[in-house]
Amino acid sequence: MADSDTLILGARALHLADLRRVYAGPIRVRIDPTALGAVTRAHELIGRLAAADAPAYGINTGFGLLAQTRIPPAQRTLLQRNIILSHSAGVGPLLEDAIVRLTLVLKLASLVQGFSGISTELARFLERLINSGLYPCVPAQGSVGASGDLAPLAHLSLCVLGQGQIRRRGEVLPAAEVLAQEGITPPALGPKEGLALLNGTQVSTALALAGLFELETVFAGAVVSGALATDALKGSDAPFDPRIHHVRGHDGQARIAQVYRELLAGSQIRESHRACTRVQDPYSLRCQPQVMGACLDLISQQALTLATEANAVTDNPLVFPDTGEVISGGNFHAEPVAFAADVLALACAEIGSITERRLALLVDPKMSGLPAFLTPESGVNSGFMMAQVTAAALVAENRMLCHPASVDSIPTSANQEDHVSMATHGARRLLSMTGNALQVVAIELLAAAQGLDLLAPLKTSPRLQGAYGTLRRTVPFAPSDRLLALDIEAAAAAVRSAEVQALAHSVLPSYR
């Protein structure tokens, strides 16, 4: 990998585009030398405080409800070791490599800002894990989103003790074995270092960022499939007139209306029915800018929150070398992430909902003017009948999943941690929801392409013809019934393709 592709940590704030790269695949990182200086100053302060008599939380005291318990000097290394071991209580399936990689980068980016008190040796250890493609095995369940993501971050940190497991190129192996093979020696933990590793919102934030990036993919695909469906249904482009959206004033609505205008420009199908007698289209066609624009605004707002959190220092206590202070606070509380995840879930549910409604129009001959269920010989053929049922089932599932997680606080740690965010599972469900919504969009893309073929020889616009052609490279017209599951799988890949995404992703926050 060229040095220009290396992500420098500590020199500037991480951008959403940087984080999308981390999520997309293996990456090399390098800690900025200036940041290492800040790390050293904070670590030296921790050393002085550890040697002093005054109580300092997590340095010479216990944790949580045990914060009043003083730890003698001989047991302070054991204290840091024990917090990692005791907090490694996660359960459930392992987080995917992309999430773990994103978590590692976020954790290291936070620690090298110089407010956590870790050693440069620990920072370099995490840097080598990332650059070697070594991803600790982290169970997905067990965090309530305060005091940070304790259980998953503890599992992430087990390899510092030479314990736990690491996934390397897809193979799960004992951490000690992998580290030895790679020539990586874990550093001995000093005061506060175990606590600095465990405290923080990095798992919640990584999951929410992954949900954001996947939702952007769904959004762009839904705009394209929605435009194709509009043309296949002989919908009007008048509702996308810029004057309508100017007088309302919402930025997302105006931006996405422009995208629809550009996508539909030059369509032979549109020109064929300009003089038709239909006065208005159903809402799922006519109100696409209003619905998708509102979703775009929500996505953009939550992207700002998550970008801020990605650059935040969220462990506790925090170290301020300039004044020689260590201050306990609550930056580990992931409420901003929880709210962002809840709002993204609402947007995801709505994108799927309006997409399914257009699909329902396409298969209904009374609304579409096309053959029933988009099959030339209905009766002996069922066409897209069950595909629409599948889409309806996925939309219903997403409605259930979008219940807000942030309102479900449960006290923990003997009521010391008496209000928590539930950000972690609130963010984790986004990946299930975006997966469901992507399938709904894929089914609409299939149905819209089938509808276009049934309108031949008229053609859609040049831009939409490109999306149609991307699908048709792998999925031909269906003159009769066949195994639709395979078509849906291929259509989902088409939705993710660069050709389809490029038609609409310019309005999305991580591409701006």
* Strands 7-9 and 134-136, sheet pairing: unpaired
> Cα 363 from chain centroid?
32
Cα separation of 333 and 1, whole Å?
37
Is the torsion defined by CA of 479, 485, 486, 488 positive or negative?
A: positive
56 close to 326: Cβ distance less than 8 angstroms: yes
Q: Which among 162, 204, 500, 484 has a CA at the least distance from the CA of 332?
A: 204
Q: For the sheet with 171-174, list strands across it.
A: 134-136, 165-168, 171-174
Give the DSSP H/E element, type plus range, for residue 476.
none
Q: Which among 408, 431, 409 has a CA at the least distance from the CA of 345?
A: 431
Cα separation of 328 and 56, whole Å?
9
Contacts of 319 (CB under 8 A, 6+ apart): 42, 45, 46, 114, 115, 116, 117, 192, 325, 326
Amino acid making up residue 214: E
In this structure, what token pair is assigned to residue 253? 């609505």
Cα separation of 504 and 262, whole Å?
10
Question: Catalytic annotation on 57?
Answer: yes
Beta bridge partners of 296: none
Q: Which position among 57, 135, 260, 468 bears the catalytic label?
A: 57
Alpha helices in 25-142 (DSSP H): 33-51, 76-87, 97-111, 120-131
Phi first, then psi, for residue 381 (nearest 5°) are -115, 140
Q: Which among 82, 93, 77, 230 has a CA at the least distance from the CA of 157?
A: 82
CA distances from 293 to 31, 42, 89, 228 (A): 39, 45, 42, 18
Amino acid making up residue 200: G
H helices then E strands: how many in the chain?
A: 21, 9
**Maximum C-alpha span of the chain:** 87
The residue with tokens 């975006």 is 434
Q: Which residues are catalytic?
A: 57
